[in-house]
Amino acid sequence: GYTASFTEGIARLVSLCLRSGVPVDEIIDQLEGIRSPRIAVDHGERVYSIPDAIAKAIKRHIGMQKTGVQLPVETFDELGGAVETDIELEKESRDAAELLKKGLNPECPECGKPLVFEEGCVKCHACGYSEC
């Protein structure tokens, strides 16, 4: 869905930048700190968005290369799987797609959290915002 295509787009741009000689520190500076409504924690560090996660992963990889640490090969399941269930993500994606079809932003204008489409209304479960 949206997250996968968004992540792939950023990855392609990062790859293009690296192949074009853009210093990796500049790429990290551009991506690091970008915020979204959802915050995650990875390796004890706050991750503010997909671009921020990519910047942190690049930094971690570069740090490991410099120290000669071998990157572990782990599967998604070994890492604990998704933070949210596939069902929750699928519903969120459907809600966002429905809102986009109606020409609405899928983020709450009050708090920035995801909006859902229920009972003919756009609602935010985080702050109570509603528009019918």
Select the more confidently predicted residue: 12 or 132: 12
User: 45-55: per-residue pLDDT in tens?
Assistant: 888 999 999 99
**Helices marked H in the chain:** 2-19, 24-31, 50-67, 86-101
State the Cα angle at 124 between 122 and 129, rounded to 5°.
Answer: 80
pLDDT-derived band at 24, boundaries 50, 70, 90: very high
Query: Strand pairing partners for 45?
Result: 42
Percentage of residues of the chain with pLDDT beyond 90 = 28
Contact 107, 114 (CB under 8 A): yes
* 68: alpha, beta or left? (left if phi > 0; alpha if psi -120 to 50): left
- Written as six digits, the tokens of 44 are 């004890």
pLDDT-derived band at 85, boundaries 50, 70, 90: very low
Query: Which of 8-12, 31-35, 48-52, 94-98 comes out lowest in average pLDDT?
Result: 94-98
Distance of CA 70 to the CA centre of its chain: 26
Is pTM beyond 0.95? Reply is no
Tell me the pLDDT of the chain averaged across its residues.
76
